[in-house]
Structures are given as structure tokens and as C-alpha cells.
Homo-oligomer: A and B are copies of this chain.
Amino acid sequence: MRISQLSAESGVPIPTIKFYLREGLLPQGEQTSATRAEYDQSHLRRLRLIRALLEVGRLPVATIRKIIEAVQDEETDIHDMLGTAHYALSPAPEPAPDDADWRDAREMVDHLVADLDWDRVQPDAPTRDELAQTLVTLKHLGMPVTRDELLPYAKAADTLVREHDIRKIPLDGPRDTAVEALVICQVLYGKAFDAMRRLAQESESARHFGFRPSDDCAGVTPRKGPEA
């Protein structure tokens, strides 16, 4: 397959494909001559992964590259590869705020990790800091979170991952396939869950404010329109 075909089948413009090649997101095709290279299904697959992580996952190119580099490095064992993938997905937290609120939050996170038996999580995993940072922010916004409030969310996350996410990952297949599936699962199911939470919240908040289904579809509630 040549670059024009790769572009046609993926819907990604040729200059953009060249850009991904330069950036190391997409491996070089097999050079058949000085001015020709051959691409295959793996390139198409990779291209679709890149677009999914960019467009749906909104991951920066640099993050996608980190993940891809870890996958491609044959030296890295699968554990470090998974670690790299997970940590790349944590937006870099600003270094050590180091005040009382932050230490409290971080302690709560560590307790939570222990309570949920997430004992394989590294003690210095950036995800812990990320969660702590979010809890601090909630507190500063006047919506402090207690451990009891957080626990049901953590349990739901745990159940979904253990009973569903992990089953979708081919644990016995080749390592790059496993990491790829893990990242897709993490990012896209995350997006899907987020959308569902928004649907639930839209329905539930409307219910609490006393609106009936299709009230304003029927035009009963006046809305700002061209003629209103």
C-alpha cells in the first residue's frame, strides 16, 4: 500500500501522515526504492489509533508518542510498558504543592488505594497525585469530599475495571496488542462513561427541577427563538 492509499483508506490527508511519520507516531513504511515505501494494515491500524486518541481522547501528540515509543521498544518489559502507558495518561501534575490540604488529600488517596486492594499501584504513581490534586481543588471550590463520599466512586471504578475492562484486553496475545487494547479501553471507555454520566445527570437534574420529558420539545416552555 502506498501513502496515497493509506490516506484514502484512513481519511487522513497525506501531509498529516507525513507529519506523523516525522513525529514518530507512525513507523516508516518499508522502503522499496529511494522514493517509494510500502505500507500495510499495521500502518492503517496505527493511524486509526492515533486519530482515535487525538480526536476522541484529546490526548496531545507528545503523549501518544510516549505510549507508542514504549510499545515499540523491545527492551521494555510488559510491566514497564503498562506503567509508561498509564503514567502518560496522567496529565503532569505541578510539583509538590506541599501544604496541609494537599497532604490530607494525598493521605486520603493512599488510604483509598489500600482499602480497595489496589496494591500493585506504585507508591509514587503520578495518578495518586492527580487524584489528590482534584480533591484539593474540590475543597478550594467549597465542595470538600469525604472518604465516605469517594468510596462509592472508587468501588464502581474497581468493579467496572475488574469485571469488564480487563476482559476486553487480550492478556495472552502479543504485548503490543495488549497495551494498545489497554490504552483504547482506558481512553475510549473513559469518554463513553463520561458521556453516560452526563446523560444521567441531564435527566436527573431536569427531574429534580420539575421538568417533564418532552415538555419543551412540544414548545410548552418558551425558549429564546427567532420569533420569541
Chain A residues packing against B (C-beta within 8 Å): 45, 48-49, 52, 55-56, 58, 75-80, 82-83, 86, 89-91, 112-113, 116-123, 125, 127-128, 130-131, 133-135, 137-138, 140-143, 145, 149-150, 152-154, 156-166, 168-169, 171, 181-182, 184-186, 188-209, 211-214, 216-217, 221, 223-224
Would you mind naming 6 contact pairs between A and B with Cβ atoms under 8 Å apart?
A90-B198, A127-B195, A134-B195, A156-B193, A160-B197, A171-B208
Cβ-defined contact, B82 with A199, below 8 A:
no
Task: From known contacts A157-B193, A195-B90, infer whether A206 and B131 are also in contact, taking CB-CB under 8 Å.
Answer: no
Closest 4 A-B residue pairs measured CB to CB?
A: A120-B206, A118-B203, A161-B200, A131-B195
Give chain B residues whose Cβ lies under 8 Å from the Cβ of A89: 198
Give chain B residues whose Cβ lies under 8 Å from the Cβ of A186: 197-198, 201
Cβ-defined contact, A182 with B195, below 8 A:
no
Give chain B residues whose Cβ lies under 8 Å from the Cβ of A195: 90, 127, 130-131, 134
Task: From known contacts A79-B209, A192-B150, A216-B79, infer whether A201 and B134 are also in contact, taking CB-CB under 8 Å.
Answer: no
Q: Identify the closest chain B residue to A91 (Cβ).
A: B58
Q: What's the number of copies of this chain in the assembled complex? A: 2
Cβ-defined contact, A82 with B119, below 8 A:
no
Inter-chain CA distance A154–B193, complex, in Å, is: 7
Task: From known contacts A153-B192, A205-B182, A209-B82, infer whether A199 and B141 are also in contact, taking CB-CB under 8 Å.
Answer: no
Inter-chain CA distance A201–B89, complex, in Å, is: 12
Task: From known contacts A56-B137, A204-B166, A208-B166, infer whether A196 and B153 are also in contact, taking CB-CB under 8 Å.
Answer: yes
Give chain B residues whose Cβ lies under 8 Å from the Cβ of A149: 164, 168
